[in-house]
C-alpha cells in the first residue's frame, strides 16, 4: 500500500476518540490487512458477570475491520458485521484483532477478523462486509 496512506491511517487511529477510549493501538497495516491491539482492562470493560463485555471485544474487532478497509486510500463504510464469541480473555491480557480482506468488488469488500489473546488463544471470529464509496480518504 502507499506509504502516505498508511501514515495517514496510523495518525488517524492515534487521534481517534474511540481507539483512545479503549487504548487501542495499530500494530500492523498493509493492503487489506490490519492488526490492532489493546490490553483488556476489567475496570473499564467488564460486563455484569465480571467478564469482558461483548462490546469491548467487538470494539477491537471493529477497529481492525475499519483500518483494513481503508488501505486502498478510499473510504469504505461498514454494512454488516457477524461475530461469533468463543472464549473470554483473562484480566490484563493483551488482545489482538487481525483483519484480512477476503474479496473485493467495485462496491463491496469482505473481511475475516480474528480476535486472540497474547497466548494465541482464539476468543472470537468475525465476518464483515464494507461498502466502498470510491471517495478518497479526506485526511490524506
Using CB under 8 A as the criterion, which residues of the chain lie in contact with its own copies when the complex forms?
9, 12-13, 15-18, 21-22, 42-49, 53-56, 58-63, 65-67, 70, 75, 77-87, 102-103, 105, 107-108, 110, 112, 122, 125-127, 129, 131, 138-139
Hey, what's the cell of 72? Answer: 486502498
Min separation Cβ 62 and its own copies, Å? 4
Count Cβ atoms within 10 A of the Cβ of residue 95 and give its class: 0-12 exposed, 13-18 middle, 19 or more buried.
Answer: buried
Q: At what angle do helices 3-15 and 54-68 cross, to 10 degrees?
A: 150
Hey, what's the cell of 115? Answer: 480476535
Specify the residue, 3 or 138, whose C-beta has the smaller distance to its own copies.
138
Min separation Cβ 67 and its own copies, Å? 8
Amino acid at each position: 500500500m502507499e506509504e502516505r496512506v498508511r501514515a495517514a491511517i496510523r495518525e488517524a487511529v492515534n487521534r481517534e476518540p474511540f481507539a483512545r477510549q479503549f487504548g487501542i493501538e495499530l500494530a500492523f497495516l498493509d493492503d487489506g490487512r490490519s492488526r490492532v491491539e489493546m490490553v483488556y482492562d476489567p475496570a473499564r470493560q467488564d460486563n455484569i458477570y465480571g467478564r469482558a463485555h461483548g462490546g469491548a471485544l467487538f470494539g477491537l474487532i471493529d477497529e481492525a475491520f475499519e483500518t483494513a478497509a481503508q488501505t486502498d486510500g478510499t473510504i469504505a463504510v461498514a454494512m454488516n458485521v457477524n461475530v461469533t464469541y468463543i472464549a473470554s480473555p483473562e484480566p490484563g491480557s493483551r488482545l489482538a484483532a487481525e483483519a484480512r480482506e477476503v474479496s473485493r468488488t467495485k462496491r463491496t469488500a469482505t473481511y475475516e477478523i480474528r480476535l486472540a489473546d497474547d497466548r494465541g488463544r482464539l476468543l472470537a471470529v468475525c465476518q464483515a462486509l464494507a461498502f466502498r464509496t470510491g471517495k478518497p480518504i479526506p485526511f490524506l
